[in-house]
């Protein structure tokens, strides 16, 4: 059996969009010392692909991190397959809040050095000495205390569309950047309650252990992240302290947690929180775009990209290596700041 996909991505996307099969989007992670990540990768690909699992999974010597979708009729069989792997038995599956089943269109499993790129030397501290896990109710109670600081451990383009009330939001593009910056931002607050949160909890597992190692006294992490918080808030009728949308790393780009829209279109400034990748594949920059600008620029980040995307494919292939687009010049979600500085010509 093939242990990777060979079908054209565009064809797979078309099949998914036309399919009426009900699918459930979920995420999971587990830190565990894997002696042979490559063998484990092939094992789960073989078994999970037969169940129609799609998604993106990273495997490393330190464990596994996955965001996937599973056919609804196969969810019980999938849970049984997970239970066949001892360290995954009983693992929590974070179920998506808003889900149309169109989150992933193929299964991709990669072996990496780490399941989340953090730039840390794990041998320099005890990665198992993590912060105290707290649920949604405990989060709400603790966050109301004067001696508590809430820290968003996600990237700026995630927090731009949604975050907790009064959270400290580092202006970073990667988790690797966030770790030293947050440490510096909180260097005078080592005796305060520090609550960290991220999408599903995996980044805080490592970050909380790192900050305890760095001398922070009272480190807490939101168990299950924003996804589990939203589920508990709804199930228990709790006050929702999350404002806006939760950014997710699949084709949905986000799921609504709070009713507020707290961000703006990066092109015209109107209230909007819809992320999109520029339709010009030679650019592909991630940015926020409203419906009016999507029509005006043909789902592109600029008039330049819009015009380029209309060229014949052969011509685009010849020109794209010699043309600098927003996506080849700037990082994810930097469009808004650059536009304010008038460094980008979108007309």
* Residues annotated catalytic, as ranges: 198
Angle at 196 between CA 128 and CA 24, to 5 degrees: 85
DSSP 288-347: E--HHHHHHTTT-SSHHHHHHHTS-HHHHHHHGGG---HHHHS-TT-HHHHHHTT-S---
Contact 206, 116 (CB under 8 A): yes
Q: With residue 162 as reference, give the H or E element that holds it.
A: strand 162-164
Q: With residue 78 as reference, give the H or E element that holds it.
A: helix 75-83
Q: How many CA atoms lie less than 13 Å away from 177 in the CB half-sphere? A: 9
Contact 194, 186 (CB under 8 A): yes
Closest to 164 in 3D by CA, of 201, 197, 200: 197
């Amino acid at each position: 059996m093939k242990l990777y996909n060979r079908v054209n991505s565009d064809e797979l996307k078309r099949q998914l969009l036309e399919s009426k099969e009900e699918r459930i989007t979920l995420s999971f992670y587990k830190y565990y010392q894997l002696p042979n990540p490559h063998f484990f990768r092939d094992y789960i690909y073989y078994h999970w692909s037969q169940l129609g699992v799609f998604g993106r999974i990273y495997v490393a010597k330190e464990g596994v991190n996955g965001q996937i979708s599973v056919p609804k009729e196969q969810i019980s069989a999938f849970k049984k397959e997970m239970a066949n792997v001892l360290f995954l038995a009983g693992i929590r599956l974070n179920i998506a809040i808003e889900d149309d089943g169109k989150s992933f269109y193929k299964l991709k499993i990669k072996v990496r050095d780490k399941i989340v790129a953090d730039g840390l030397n794990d041998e320099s501290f005890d990665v198992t000495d993590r912060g105290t896990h707290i649920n949604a109710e405990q989060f709400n109670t603790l966050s109301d205390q004067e001696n508590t600081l809430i820290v968003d451990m996600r990237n700026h383009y995630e927090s731009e569309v949604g975050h907790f009330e009064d959270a400290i939001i580092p202006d970073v593009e990667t988790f690797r950047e966030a770790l030293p910056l947050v440490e510096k931002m909180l260097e005078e607050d080592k005796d305060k309650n520090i609550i960290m949160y991220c999408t599903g909890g995996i980044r805080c597992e490592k970050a909380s252990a790192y900050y305890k190692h760095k001398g922070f006294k009272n480190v807490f992490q939101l168990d299950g992240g924003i996804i589990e918080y939203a589920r508990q808030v709804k199930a228990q009728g709790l006050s929702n302290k999350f404002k806006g949308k939760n950014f997710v790393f699949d084709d949905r780009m986000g799921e609504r947690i709070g009713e507020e829209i707290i961000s703006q279109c990066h092109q015209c400034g109107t209230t909007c929180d819809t992320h999109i990748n520029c339709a010009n594949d030679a650019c592909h920059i991630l940015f926020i775009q409203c419906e009016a600008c999507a029509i005006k620029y043909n789902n592109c980040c600029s008039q330049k990209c819009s015009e380029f995307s209309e060229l014949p494919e052969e011509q685009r292939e010849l020109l794209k290596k010699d043309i600098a687009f927003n996506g080849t010049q700037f990082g994810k979600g930097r469009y808004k700041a650059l536009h304010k500085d008038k460094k980008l010509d979108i007309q």
